[in-house]
Amino acid sequence: MSGRHYHGSVKTHADASVELGAIAANVAALRAHVAPAAVMAVVKANGYGHGAVPAARAALRGGADWLGVVHVAEALELRRAGVDAPLLCLMSIAEQAHADAIAADVDLSAGSADMVRRLAAAAAVAGRPARVHLKADTGLGRGGAVPADWPAVLAAASEARHTGLLTVVGLWSHFASADEPGNPSIAAQLAVFKEALAAAESAGITPLVRHIANTAAALDVPQAHYDMVRIGGGSYGLATLPGGPPSWLRPALTLRARLALVKRVPAGTGVSYGHRYTTTRETTLGLVPLGYADGIPRAAIGLPLVFARGRRWRIAGTVCMDQFVIDFGDEPVAEGDEVIIFGPGDDGEPTAQEWGEALGTISYEMVTGIGARVERSYRD
């Protein structure tokens, strides 16, 4: 990974290179890990920054049974690209084009009786029943129906089923702290989910799939696997568990740039906004044409999280919107030399996991934060 090598024909100033074979292999490995449960590969947020359509196709090649997105627009993008796998839109919003989604054979989620009725109305417009996953809030305190509202959701779904406007395909929920092994909320949420499933059964609702496990639970909470697990970060070789993903998952994305400018400067040279870094001797500065608009956090000042010429270097001074600076000392760098921001770690380069830990966030924020002007390239 060192030197000036770029995969494919990419000649831009920066490149997010995605190893599609890694996505396929990650999904295959996770599928084996959670068997006999099915696997939903979540490709929301532009495939966690990796590209939704290429990531979806790679995940399906790896054996994913379902795909998941958040917004209807994301689902319709996949359908327009010819992706015809079972597909769930995980968040239903009143203003979304639900009739278009139903017509495109996209499953939708409902976490309230009102949303069930909205989806039934959209089904009437689409001319076919809505395929719906009813969501229970088992303790995350986000989307879904709390236990007191769950009977009303089931009643609305039963009414829509009897009119032929709705099919209940799934019952689901989401964990708050599955990435904290042993957290008591995990068992508590499983207990609430079990009660929600029992209430649905009593109401005559038997779903095709029951699902509550995210990547962390798929890896660490086997009793949460049920009929299907939803793999988000895991598909891309990432996880929010302590220490990151297991070694058998491979990060699929490498973020690179080329030095746009190299210059010698004297001691006492202030670098970047606010002169928060000043050179202590004559040195070589290299300008990296990536900034916080491209996903390099402004808080990364001083961190040794960039890789060039076989070693790591600190970010010198404030990260700007479009660029940051590295103090290379007397290293013989040149304009056009490659700098790796993060990758799988094969050659000692930082990983997205390391960036997240250094900045008090998670690897998911690093990969989804890569801006649109950074070109994505793909390889198998």
Alpha helices in 127-261 (DSSP H): 150-162, 184-202, 215-220
Pair 27, 67: CB distance under 8 Å: no
Interatomic CA distance for residues 55 and 343, integer angstroms: 17
Q: Cite the active site residues.
A: 44, 273
Residue 152 neighbours by CB under 8 Å, 6+ apart: 113, 145
Below-50 pLDDT ranges, the chain:
1-10
pLDDT of residue 94: 84
- What does the pLDDT read at residue 13? 85
Give the C-alpha separation, 248 to 168, whole Å: 36
pTM as predicted: 0.94
pLDDT, tens only, 278-297: 999 999 999 999 999 999 99
Q: What is the pLDDT of residue 139?
A: 98
- Rounded Cα gap, residues 23 and 310, in angstroms: 26
User: So where are the chain's domains?
Assistant: 20-236, 253-379
Q: Which numeric CATH code is attached to 20-236? A: 3.20.20.10
Structure tokens at 100: 């278009």
253-379 fold: Lyase, Ornithine Decarboxylase; Chain A, domain 1 (2.40.37)
The domains spanning 20-236 and 253-379 adopt the same CATH topology: no
Interval 363-372: pLDDT, tens: 999 999 999 9
Buried/exposed code over 325-342 (b: 16+ C-beta within 10 A; e: otherwise)? bbbbeebebeeebbbbbb
| CA distances, 62 to each of 30, 211, 326 (Å) | 10, 20, 39
Task: Give residue 12's pLDDT.
Answer: 62
